[in-house]
Structure 1
């Protein structure tokens, strides 16, 4: 085929093995399409070396051939490049890469399936390739609902699994498009209702000219009487129509089938939170953030916080622990001062007596003194009062903890402890400094001594 563009030069950066495999595939297609395969072998080898690029040509100069005939054989030349660019395959490692592959965020199912199939080619699975690819799809799929559907299928194979996953992605995309169009039509109806009411008010201000008017035209332009403001989503739509809040979870109370702006729980809690809101407005609230909190490395993974707690029941006395009582959300709570802890920890049982406390998701792992990891139930921010000053402290909520802990940063911020970098001892004055006259010269007794008979003896 005349005018057929040859492949681009071979790129020897990045994953060279994959670059070579892809380039060889393009060269094979070019060889058959351009008629190069019918030409003389030396022409085929020269064409390959011409279009492969300067970097690969330098690699060719390092090859050794047994005879001149091998230099003219295209298959031998390609085999030489194969041995150079493709390292010796380690099947164990290739299977490890395959078994640790998962569907990443934003990756479509088609991309995930293609990646699994390409990785399986170097694993020597043989006849089990399709079954093992299907197993990886079921195990590492992001959508739990689709995974449950796949597990429920009898005699599931790779073709059925791929069909179910693709159908699920298509239906989700279609539902997203339908929801957008529904919200758009709802917004248009709301704008029309406002405009229609304003126009009616303006018309009412004008004097009536005649009672004879076309009722059919006004009724056709009037919004349908079946539309109403939904108590679940807040939009205006038909009573029997689709509600955008159906099946959705509320960000306020966690229940389903309504949005947070229409949540009734928020109305009930507004009275209880008013007192706390007033206190926050009247007093200056100091916010104490934990060092390297969830956002410190949480974008890249979970954070590990160390809790240095070591107790001995035999040596435990009243003065062996440093404790303090704080007023937390109007509740008196006794805390242990733990300067070895990197965060504040509170038990879930303590929060049961407090109102309007919302748990947020926590990505921390708490590491105890013995090295064990604890997964918190969540985290929360509590208003704490100490010496008529208010602080917003962040706590990790743990189930079954005996006593709440105040970490190093909170103890420092509340002024409960103070760091002392050095200790100086005051010098005790020596007797020689205060009575220097006594220690001068030699000591002598008085010249006259009392007589023996004048000395009185006392019996004890």
Structure 2
């Protein structure tokens, strides 16, 4: 047979612990088959397990008027200890506590029912289960369930307790399912927002690429479809951009070595005393000629000849221009 240790000693400074010790000793008494032993043996085991102070309390129970052997009856000794440790309860007060007990916020149905049982234990109800049933039906927080219980004519305490527990379980499961659905919905929204953000960023990158292409031609176009992609620049002669977007620096002066030049015509050399010089300053000019003033001296030139350069003869330069300069 298994061995069981006796309950811990009672702290006599805390008499409210007596009901718990009494219950533990009752189980120990049955488990060890102590209840089969003589009554005086059982009483001695109880007092010994309670501690040294229990002996003094027990001696206070004995009086000369007690019947012989009554103090050794185990159940009688338990009642004496009950009277010593537990003050006489006020039934009116205990019932008032019971009837004012409602299910509190956050309190489960199981906790509420258990507390009703604890309160009813000290109320001396003739029909304790009916009182607990009615209290549960009226003051449970689930008013829909309360109405359903009130409409059940053959309602017993057990049936009311089972219905209350089942209803609470179903609501808890639905709540968890709803929370899970909410989490999925939140995840879906996050995914959609992330997808939108990705698309927005991709569109931004496409626009940025298009802006970069605008620098080659100055026109709006789709990506990789720049009209200047394969065109030659008229300014720098490089491929890939137009002249209006060319970033090559302008060359200010160009010096070239010329091997030959084209001249349209050359007049005969004339001296300053020759009459033909007067022809240069005549008011009426022949076709395709014009008079230009050089150093305050009018000189006749042939225009639009297609020549690469313009020259004057030495006689004109010596006879008119040199004198004007001097």
TM-score, with structure 2 as normaliser: 0.53
Equivalent residue pairs, number: 204
* 1:164 maps onto 2:163 in alignment: yes
SS in 2 for 1:62: helix
Residue in structure 2 matched with residue 280 of structure 1 by the alignment = none
Residue in structure 2 matched with residue 87 of structure 1 by the alignment = 87
Structure 1 residues 71 and 109: CA distance shift in structure 2, 3 A:
same
| Distance in 1 (alpha carbons) for counterparts of 2:14 and 2:103 | 23
Structure 1 residues 69 and 157: CA distance shift in structure 2, 3 A:
closer
Greater share of strand = 1
Q: Write out aligned runs for 1:93-172 (5 A).
A: 93-126=93-126, 128-172=127-171
Residue in structure 2 matched with residue 267 of structure 1 by the alignment = none
Structure 1 residues 138 and 64: CA distance shift in structure 2, 3 A:
same
- In structure 2, stretches of 5+ residues that fail to align are 207-326
Residue in structure 1 matched with residue 46 of structure 2 by the alignment = 48
- Structure 1 residue 29: deviation in Å? 0.8
Residue in structure 2 matched with residue 175 of structure 1 by the alignment = 174
**1:177-201: CA deviation from partner (whole Å, max 9, x where unpaired):** 1122112111222222233334455
| Distance in 2 (alpha carbons) for counterparts of 1:60 and 1:86 | 15
| Distance in 2 (alpha carbons) for counterparts of 1:111 and 1:133 | 13
SS in 2 for 1:123: coil
- Structure 1 residue 81: deviation in Å? 0.9
| Distance in 2 (alpha carbons) for counterparts of 1:131 and 1:39 | 39
- Structure 1 residue 51: deviation in Å? 1.8
| Distance in 2 (alpha carbons) for counterparts of 1:130 and 1:52 | 34
RMSD: 3.1
| Distance in 2 (alpha carbons) for counterparts of 1:85 and 1:50 | 17
| Distance in 2 (alpha carbons) for counterparts of 1:146 and 1:118 | 23
- Structure 1 residue 85: deviation in Å? 2.4
* 1:63 maps onto 2:55 in alignment: no
Q: Write out aligned runs for 1:401-416 (5 A).
A: none
| Distance in 1 (alpha carbons) for counterparts of 2:168 and 2:185 | 26
8 Å contact 2:15–2:85 — kept in the other structure? no
Structure 1 residues 115 and 11: CA distance shift in structure 2, 3 A:
farther
Structure 1 residues 8 and 91: CA distance shift in structure 2, 3 A:
same
| Distance in 2 (alpha carbons) for counterparts of 1:74 and 1:160 | 38
| Distance in 1 (alpha carbons) for counterparts of 2:132 and 2:38 | 43
- Structure 1 residue 31: deviation in Å? 0.7
8 Å contact 2:10–2:50 — kept in the other structure? yes
8 Å contact 2:98–2:116 — kept in the other structure? yes
- Structure 1 residue 205: deviation in Å? 7.9
| Distance in 1 (alpha carbons) for counterparts of 2:38 and 2:51 | 21
- Structure 1 residue 83: deviation in Å? 2.5
- Structure 1 residue 90: deviation in Å? 4.0
8 Å contact 2:15–2:86 — kept in the other structure? no
